[in-house]
Amino acid sequence: MNNKSTIKKIINFIKKQVNNKPIVLGLSGGIDSALVAYLAVKALGNKKVHCLIMPSDTNTEQDLRLAKNVARYLNIQYSIFNIKQILKVYSATLNFKPNKTTVGNLKARIRMSLLYSLANQINGIVIGTGNKTEISVGYFTKYGDGGVDILPIGNLYKTQVWKLSKELGVPQEIIDRPPTAGLWTGQTDENEMGITYETLDKILTAIEKKKSLVGFKKSDLKKVKLMMKNSEHKRMLPPVCK
């Protein structure tokens, strides 16, 4: 991957898709949202970029600090909206006790609804932060962080996200921290998936390019293929009866 030409392509993509509208972005303190924020400002200027920082009780002080640092460094408009109260009221209306995964997905869907509320208010576009690795294996919440209008880094594997972030000057502290969605205490992406992003990207690249899969652990191959199969519904429009 040529970093400079890739950056140029993404910037042009954002400009074309947005068509001079403002964009709305969720900043989490993680690398994907930081990279998208940097690219959006390069494409549109800081006045067109509106960010929401939406912590819950399972997000850390580091999450909040890093998200605010990115917004301040890029001089973009941002608001902090703690979703704890919404989550509490929402959960209280259910006639069952939601488990850990249900609550985690609910957090993602609450954040999506807040992003679209702001986008409606300013006639803007919700810009997504999903990368190719996570999209390929369905590591996102349907109608949560998957509910967006455009995906500027949706064709970049996670390992490419790290490289492009370094090229653009995203803070090293964000690049180095373990990726996490922060949906429950102590959660990290790689622990939850049971595979490293480096291995995952190598397998996905080999599958995409129809290369030999000899040399990969059978358990890793089985895991990746199962994740891809089980998440097909997330990458398709709902079936329509004709």
User: Is a pLDDT exceeding 80 seen at residue 110?
Assistant: yes
pTM attached to this predicted model: 0.94
Fold annotation for 3-188 = Rossmann fold (3.40.50)
Residues 61-95: tens digit of each pLDDT: 999 999 999 999 999 999 999 999 999 999 899 99
Q: Which of 65, 117, 62, 60 is nearest to 86 (CA)?
A: 117
* Model pLDDT for residues 148-182, shown as the tens digit of each residue: 999 999 999 999 999 999 999 999 999 999 888 77
Distance, CA of 39 to CA of 33 (rounded, Å)? 10
3-state secondary structure of 134: helix
For residue 184, pLDDT over 80 is answered with no
What pLDDT was estimated at residue 125?
Answer: 97
Q: What is the mean pLDDT of the chain?
A: 95
Strand 125-126 relative to strand 23-26: parallel, antiparallel, unpaired?
parallel
- H-helix segments, the chain: 3-18, 31-44, 61-74, 84-93, 100-122, 132-137, 158-168, 172-176, 189-193, 197-208, 218-230
Distance CA 55, CA 52 (A): 10
d(CA 181, CA 156): 18
